Amino acid sequence: MEKKLYPGTLRRLRSNAVIRSLINPLKLSHQSFILPIFVEENLQSPRPIQNMESVFVQTIETIIQRIENAILSGVNKFLLFPIPAVKKVIPDDFSFAFDTVVKIKAHFGDTIWLATDICLCSYTSHGHCGIMNHQKTEVLNQESVEILSTYAVLLAKAGADCLAPSDMMDSRIKAIRDKLINSNLGYKTIMSYSAKFSSQFYGPFRDACHSSPNEGSTLHDRKSYQLSPFNPEQALLAALRDESEGADIIMVKPAGLYADIIASLKERILTPIAAYHVSGEYAAIEILSERGIVDRSKAHMEVWASLQRSGASIIISYEAEKAKEWIENYEY
């Protein structure tokens, strides 16, 4: 077929899928993906998460099969969210999370990489990510860091490969790193939710973990510890601090709405950057695709491309299991 393109046109390199797949400088790999997984204590059978019906909270029995299926789809990195049966003002029982990690690692060993979320919001009766003062008006930094770092070391002892603190207290990375080293677990990695914004897009996740701030306190949002969408400088400061305190991976979350943060971090740090495409962002694509406005797989691919362009080398996605198939079959 005769092609009539003007000299100097950029369209020569976009004229068909074969040439596009050759010259695109960015290529995704399913190996860059982490799949979030949820396990709830005393749950009888897996339950779907509201507004993200293809994602299920697992029981301690079903989690092994769940991971096996994911491995078959090409995923071997996981971010675990344990949901305890009992919530307290000051959490003191982390045995369910410990047992879950032991069970998973006993089964899969080093064939998988297991990161565990480190936060208190699914443990506390008030739903905050840390310990509150007696009047329940504020979240206390040092008291929270003390418990969070103890919890992190416990899960490292259980066999977690990576600890991923999402609480947003100050100096928790240093506390966790110090305690890991003192327990001869200094080789464990820390993935810090450094640039975690106070966002509207965590809704389905909070439903799944029963972890919204509630009437148990007079503080009804997480703005005193999570970052403001209007303050990019604090995100950079938090990331730089966490890197210097011993974090191995720096996370930005939500992902798509904060691609600018990923890009500016990329210029300033050499630590790998992970982007967490969160539950609300995922649900938005679900709803758009249900209404026929977008094609699900192509919409996810487009988001993933934007995260990669911004500078994220790791993507945390509820669709991680589809990454291999979608990337292989994508028509560039």
Q: Judged by CB, which is closer to ligand PBG: 35, or 154?
A: 35
Closest CA to 34 of 323, 329, 328, 310: 323
Asked if 192 is part of the footprint of ligand PBG (rule: CB under 6 A), the reply reads: no
Minimum distance of ligand PBG from residue 212's CB (angstroms):
7
Q: Is the distance from CB of 276 to CB of 255 less than 8 angstroms?
A: yes
The site for ligand PBG, by CB under 6 A, has a size of 11
Please identify, among the stretches 17-25, 146-154, 182-190, 205-213, the one whose residues bind ligand PBG according to the rule CB under 6 A: 205-213
As a whole number of angstroms, the distance between CA 125 and CA 90 comes to 8
Asked if 278 is part of the footprint of ligand PBG (rule: CB under 6 A), the reply reads: yes
Q: Judged by CB, which is closer to ligand PBG: 136, or 330?
A: 136
- Region for residue 309 given its phi and psi (left: phi exceeds 0; alpha: psi -120 to 50; beta: otherwise): alpha
- Catalytic-residue membership of 196: yes
**Active-site residue, selected from the candidate residues 77, 179, 253, 322:** 253
Asked if 35 is part of the footprint of ligand PBG (rule: CB under 6 A), the reply reads: no
Minimum distance of ligand PBG from residue 281's CB (angstroms):
8
Minimum distance of ligand PBG from residue 318's CB (angstroms):
7
Binding ligand PBG (rule: CB under 6 A), the pick from 57, 80, 129, 262 is 129
Binding ligand PBG (rule: CB under 6 A), the pick from 96, 98, 151, 205 is 205
Binding ligand PBG (rule: CB under 6 A), the pick from 34, 75, 80, 119 is 119
Asked if 166 is part of the footprint of ligand PBG (rule: CB under 6 A), the reply reads: yes
Q: Judged by CB, which is closer to ligand PBG: 9, or 231?
A: 231
Asked if 63 is part of the footprint of ligand PBG (rule: CB under 6 A), the reply reads: no
Q: Is the distance from CB of 148 to CB of 167 less than 8 angstroms?
A: yes
**Active-site residue, selected from the candidate residues 77, 179, 196, 322:** 196
Asked if 38 is part of the footprint of ligand PBG (rule: CB under 6 A), the reply reads: no
Minimum distance of ligand PBG from residue 126's CB (angstroms):
13
Active centre residues (catalytic):
196, 253
Q: Where do contacts with ligand PBG occur on this chain (CB under 6 A)?
A: 117, 119, 121, 129, 166, 202, 205-206, 211, 278-279
